[in-house]
Amino acid sequence: MTGIGILGANGRMGRVLIEAAHLDSDINLVAAAVREGSQWIGMDAGELAGISKQNLKITASLEPNTTQIDAVIDFTLPDVIEQNLAWCVANKKAIVIGTTGLNDKQKESLERAATSIPIVFAANYSVGVNLMLNLVRQAAKTMGDTADIEILEAHHRFKKDAPSGTAMAIGEAIADEVGRDLNQCAVYGREGDTGERKHETIGFATVRAGDVVGEHTALFADIGERLEITHKASSRLTFAKGAVTAAKWLVGKPAGLYSMQDVLELN
């Protein structure tokens, strides 16, 4: 059994992670933490997640259950990523991170922590999206010299970062395959007289609306034809199950920064 500690247990993903841990017979959920002062402290984790009672109380940190934890799963916010990493390094705990929207300083902290502990960091933990990353590379290799490339993504109204981490991962995979620097060729919005489209650009279009879980399309448009590679998620449980799978895989691995592609052996 793998002992799992969940950070951000009261969030949209946190609650689904509790459910995913409950559904996996190889997982023992031993800790579920929220921010200090949260109204959820002391509540049963199962009741918080809307499932059966788990006899595990929500706490303000992972400290009470440190010795039982084999791996931590973190889908919180960028502003706490550094302190979460510091705790895992100090306590020698593996960590799976699904937090997106990290700045350069936070990414550096991630890389630094990975010299001490094993970390899986991915923009998306679904099997389908990670397969999609391989498929867009194939499409870019074949069509990248002639096709215009656009990435379209849609998420719920509560998502704070844009474009999504998954959209950026798709863009980075394509740019890498065609030998472009995404920082130089990405276009994140168009308005007014923008002039003729430059072939080397990779465009991003973002939708935020309602309760859309997540939709991503990579569009390769040439004269006379276009190829669209699309992934649509209908439940956050897809991502949560993937993160739990990553946590099980990560335990016992040497220090390093791993991806979901590594977990699924897609590299």
Neighbours of 158 (CB within 10 A): 10
The CB-side HSE value for 25 (13 A sphere, CA atoms) comes to 0
What string of DSSP letters covers 158-221?
A: T--SSS-HHHHHHHHHHHHHHT--HHHHEE----S---SPPTT-EEEEEEE-TT--EEEEEEEE
Terminal CA-CA length for the chain: 27
Q: Bridge partners of 5?
A: 31, 72
**Which has the closest alpha carbon to 206: 246, 158, 166, 153?**
153
Query: For the sheet containing 71-74, what is the strand order?
Result: 27-33, 2-7, 71-74, 94-97, 118-121, 256-258
3-state secondary structure of 63: helix
Give alpha helix (H) positions in the chain.
Answer: 12-23, 45-49, 81-91, 104-113, 127-143, 165-178, 182-185, 237-250, 260-263
Phi-psi category of residue 179: left, alpha or beta, with phi > 0 → left and psi -120 to 50 → alpha: left
Catalytic amino acids? 155, 159
Please confirm whether the linkage preceding 163 is cis (ω < 30° from 0).
yes
